[in-house]
């Protein structure tokens, strides 16, 4: 064996163990990063409505109502769209309706502010959770005519005028 082959053989012998050590360190750091508490973690207690100024409450209400209007319009447009009898077009409409429903629920929940008036926040939270329940069931193929869907659909339909009146 020449000296060049010996150096190459010796150095390649250390590559695999070194890569394994680096991979283990990276995995350990990843686990640590996922599990360590963050510095901005706040207690999950609900603030009382008195903790917010009138302006903060009105701003939170306006943002929540704007998000609700956006979601309501998106769900309405996507669920009532008609691209004709083509099977691919019908499936595309159904996919967009599921996306609007499931995504709309998540969007609303992410837009709720602690300063939102409690009655509005509760109504929007229930509506958003219903949208997510409807959307996930639609993704697994449950039809809107299924008896298990009826109470969810009715609850979502009943919530819309209630939230609209709370947004006035």
Angle at 95 between CA 137 and CA 93, to 5 degrees: 125
Q: What is the pLDDT of residue 51?
A: 86
For residue 107, what pLDDT band results from cuts at 50, 70 and 90?
Answer: very high
Minimum mean pLDDT range among 25-34, 43-52, 79-88: 25-34
Cβ contact 109:128 at 8 Å: yes
Angle at 114 between CA 108 and CA 115, to 5 degrees: 105
How far apart (Å, rounded) are the C-alpha atoms in residues 146 and 155? 15
Q: What is the pLDDT of residue 67?
A: 97
Q: What is the pLDDT of residue 108?
A: 97
Residue 26 pLDDT greater than 80, yes or no:
no
- CB neighbours of residue 17 within 10 Å: 9
| Model pLDDT for residues 66-104, shown as the tens digit of each residue | 999 999 999 999 999 988 899 999 899 999 999 999 999
The token pair at 40 is: 């901005």
Extents of the domains making up the chain: 1-36, 55-166
Q: What is the pLDDT of residue 28?
A: 53
Higher-confidence position of 67 and 3: 67
How far apart (Å, rounded) are the C-alpha atoms in residues 130 and 17? 52
Residue 135 sits at φ, ψ, to 5 deg, of -60, -45
For residue 23, what pLDDT band results from cuts at 50, 70 and 90?
Answer: low
Residue 40 pLDDT greater than 50, yes or no:
no
The token pair at 88 is: 């691919």
Chain centroid, CA 80 distance in Å: 23
How far apart (Å, rounded) are the C-alpha atoms in residues 131 and 111? 15
């Amino acid at each position: 064996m020449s000296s060049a082959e010996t150096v190459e053989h010796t150095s390649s012998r250390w590559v695999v163990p070194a890569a394994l050590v680096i991979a283990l360190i990276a995995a350990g750091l990843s686990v640590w990063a996922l599990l360590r508490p963050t510095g901005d973690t706040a207690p999950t207690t609900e603030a009382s409505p008195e903790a917010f100024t009138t302006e903060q409450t009105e701003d939170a209400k306006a943002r929540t109502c704007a998000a609700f209007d956006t979601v309501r319009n998106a769900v309405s447009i996507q669920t009532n769209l008609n691209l004709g009898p083509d099977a691919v077009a019908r499936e595309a409409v159904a996919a967009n309706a599921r996306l609007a429903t499931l995504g709309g629920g998540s969007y609303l929940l992410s837009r709720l502010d602690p300063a939102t008036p409690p009655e509005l926040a509760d109504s929007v939270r229930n509506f958003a959770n219903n949208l997510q329940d409807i959307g996930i069931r639609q993704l697994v193929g449950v039809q809107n005519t299924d008896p298990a869907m009826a109470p969810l659909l009715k609850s979502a339909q009943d919530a819309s005028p209630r939230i609209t009146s709370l947004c006035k």
